[in-house]
Amino acid sequence: MDRLDNTIRPYAWGSTTAIAELLGVEPTGEPQAEMWLGAHPGAPSRTDRGTLAEVIDADPERELGAASVAKFGPRLPFLLKLLAAGAPLSLQVHPDLDQAKAGYADEERRGVPVTAPHRNYRDANHKPELVCALTDFDGLCGFRDPRRTAELLDALGVDSLKPYVDLLRARPEDAALREVLTAILTADRDEMARTVTEAAAACERLGGDHAPYADIAHHYPGDPGVIAAMLLNHVRLQPGEALYLGAGVPHAYLNGLGVEIMANSDNVLRCGLTPKHVDVPELLRIVRFEPRDPGVLRPEAAPDGEELYETPTDEFRLSRYVLTAGGTTHDLTLATPQILLCTAGSVRAGEHELSPGTSVFVPTGEKAEVSGIGTLFRATVVA
């Protein structure tokens, strides 16, 4: 197995302390948003044999296994991250696989440069994702029941929001949500900025269920995404709890440290809370206007102490081991590639001693025995 040296991405919304504290190092004073573990071309992990991307490219079947290569191609199909949100991320959705393929082909046909800021589809893959909290972790996930949202907006006493309140009390629910989100994103920017300012002040005054949206408005004053965010469920994960984000589900991470895993893709359509391009017509085509429960996941017991986060996605499979005193050794050998990430304590993986924030790549079939006292996350595929 290969010890990984991973890149930390300094996005502006990142926490200045969370990743440093996990690693046990002094903060740099700059935002540290994500640490990437994998073979993504944007920042592949480094090993003694070269970057992980180079290692896999040299012999895909040896590293990934014939079954994974046959199913996903000669590449690691997932990206694992430590994600540390110090401020809200953009409100966003991801396409399903068919939508991604069609959107990518269309933009290629039209000659839209892959690096263009208005490009929606940078690859032909979908981007389901799962985030597991390491600390208290706040996020938005899926549309709240429109009637409850109508009550939340009505309580603000903002006259310019009353048409939205009336729409949200109408039927059918999917049409009401579509019409309100469309109205928010296509409203006059100056008028919407005034509405957001007034709504933010009311949220600050009321607190309670309104408090998360006051904080969002503090980071994004005047942004229409503040009102769009109020259509969504607010959820606070406790450590060990997780959220699965499938295609078309609007979401945003607000604050906290977590382990995130996703299919290898950069396809994001934004709804707000960002200075980046928002393609409203394409967004409305991708969003699934379905009220839903956030669906908080808790790990399910599997053999040999494994705790599994069940999802419908084959590109990744995330589980964890909470190792305790007693000297038990767990054999994690699989016929699929793995990344093992320590998030607490001290874990021995083969010949490697792992402390929080350190990791190894385990090629398919490679012997992988772990022991120690701590928490270890295992990322692999369903091949």
Share of the chain above pLDDT 90, in %: 96
- Global model pTM greater than 0.85: yes
Cα dihedral 25, 28, 29, 35 sign: negative
Q: Is the pLDDT of residue 267 over 90?
A: yes
Average pLDDT over residues 215-233: 97
Q: What is the pLDDT of residues 304-358, one digit of tens each?
A: 899 999 999 999 999 999 998 777 899 999 999 999 999 999 999 999 999 999 9
Q: Is the pLDDT of residue 261 over 80?
A: yes
178 CA to centre of own chain: 23
Q: What is the pLDDT of residues 139-148, one digit of tens each?
A: 999 999 999 9
Q: Is the pLDDT of residue 113 over 80?
A: yes
Average pLDDT over residues 254-268: 97
Give catalytic status of residue 270 as yes or no: yes
- Range 55-61, long-range pairs (CB < 8 A, 24+ positions): 55/2, 55/361
Mean pLDDT for the chain overall: 96
Q: Please report which confidence band the pLDDT of residue 303 belongs to, taking 50, 70 and 90 as the band edges.
A: confident
Q: What is the pLDDT of residues 168-208, one digit of tens each?
A: 998 899 999 999 999 999 999 999 999 999 999 999 999 99
> How many Å apart are CA 158 and CA 156, to the nearest integer?
5
pLDDT attached to residue 304: 86
Q: Is the pLDDT of residue 264 over 80?
A: yes
Residue length of the chain:
383
Return the C-alpha torsion angle 247, 250, 255, 261, nearest 10: 0
pLDDT attached to residue 335: 96
251 CA to centre of own chain: 9
Write the CA distances from 83 to 20, 71, 260, 364, 375, integer angstroms: 12, 28, 6, 26, 17
Q: What is the pLDDT of residues 238-253, one digit of tens each?
A: 999 999 999 999 999 9
Selecting among 270, 317, 320, 378, the annotated active-site residue is 270
**Contact call for residues 219 and 206 (beta carbons, < 8 A):** no
Judged by average pLDDT, the poorest of 52-56, 163-167, 218-222, 302-306 is: 302-306
DSSP strands (E only) in 201-316: 232-237, 242-245, 251-263, 269-272, 300-301, 307-309
